[in-house]
Chain A
């Protein structure tokens, strides 16, 4: 199952093809479940989010072509946003240790990698140009859905300070990515 297969499956799903939907689920649910778990740190909530994510995929598959993004990026964006909505709606007591144990047990498989190696290298290189704590803040916001308030607490600075320096970091990142 590579990127063009997933691309094809989404276009079949847009036509209401349930078999394609089933295959798309088999091919991508583990990654999307991982994305939801990373944000939510809670298996039951992540399952709910996975369910909601695939319902959105079924409903909005016809919008995929217009986004111009890679199919995995599109799917991950839906899963991530759904998970963050859930995170913001309910303040959860996370069972972090439990999930981290299991996540540590298996790394991502290279063939399932959503993005070409050169692009990964580029964002990593640009993030490396930021200072350690700013890099960590950007990653925290993306991977865990951390809010400014969460980040301010984590780095022990006022929210406005947090926002000011994260915005500067984002601009620096954008300039680096445009080089």
Chain B
């Protein structure tokens, strides 16, 4: 360079060019060699990253296609762990539910469910972890479910959608072809912390969770009475 920059300015300009990605690939490599040995230069780059960051504010958000997430999860984890592509088999199974009220009433009466709406404890999980994203076919309701096998706790976090006025979200567990078992009523934004009944704790893998639209306080019959709003299958992670 022919400019009249001090060595310090020269370094800073180079750090800025590096941050902006203006250097040629050869220059980039040479700079990175220096960078690895010079904490001051590293700080200079960090400073520039910080300075330029607000420029990204004007970039509009664009929602990527839904298939992008499924592909990412499959590529990273080998299988689709999320319910966002709600498998049709789960939805088609739902038709059976309305006829299974009697069995479900008995089951629901036996299984005591604890519903806590406070924040979940932040203890690290040591047991098996299962996860599912319960989602509506049109994405109007999305709830993330995480089950920690070491505590038996099932944590629901709503990320999209709220219950209609005077209505409640009720959470159900379905194992195989059995009738849905109520796990309790969630908050209006789809959040809840639930201790899974011991009978269900051994069958979390492959368990289907569903959220139905119910009268205030939950289903009066012990079986889903309203529309099924979201479903997802629990998957081992």
Which residue numbers of A lie inside 8 Å of B, CB to CB?
15, 18-19, 22-23, 25-26, 29-31, 33-35, 37-38, 46-47, 50-51, 54-55, 58, 67-70, 72-73, 76-77, 80-81, 84, 88, 102-103, 106-109, 112-115, 119-120, 122-124, 138-139, 141-143, 145, 147-148, 163-164, 166-168, 170-171, 173-174, 177
Contacts and interface: CB of A to CB of B under 8 A. Distances in A.
Nearest to B21: A84
B116 interface: no
Given A33-B64, A51-B68, A114 B56 contact: yes
A38 B1 CA distance: 31
Given A19-B131, A47-B68, A50-B68, A80 B56 contact: yes
A164 to B, nearest CB: 6
A94 B10 CA distance: 35
Contact of B12 (A58, A113, A174): A174
Contacts of B49: 69, 73, 77
Contact of B65 (A15, A19, A47, A171): A47
Interface residues of B, number: 52
Contacts of A26: 142, 159
B20 interface: yes
B182 interface: no
Nearest to A104: B60
A73 B108 CA distance: 48
A141 B20 contact: yes
A51 B46 contact: no
A70 to B, nearest CB: 7
13 contacts: A23-B159, A33-B63, A34-B61, A51-B71, A54-B76, A55-B72, A77-B53, A103-B62, A109-B61, A112-B61, A114-B54, A120-B57, A143-B56
B146 interface: yes
Nearest to B52: A142
A114 B21 contact: no
Contacts of B82: 22
Interface of B: 1-3, 5, 9, 12-13, 16-17, 20-22, 25, 46, 48-65, 68-69, 71-73, 75-77, 81-82, 124, 129, 131, 133, 142, 144, 146, 157, 159, 237
Contact of B69 (A25, A81, A108, A120): A25
Given A18-B131, A177-B51, A107 B60 contact: yes
Contacts of A33: 61-64
A123 B51 contact: yes
A37 B60 CA distance: 10
Contacts of A138: 20
A171 B60 contact: no
A171 B56 contact: no
B50 to A, nearest CB: 6
Nearest to B122: A8
B61 A106 contact: yes
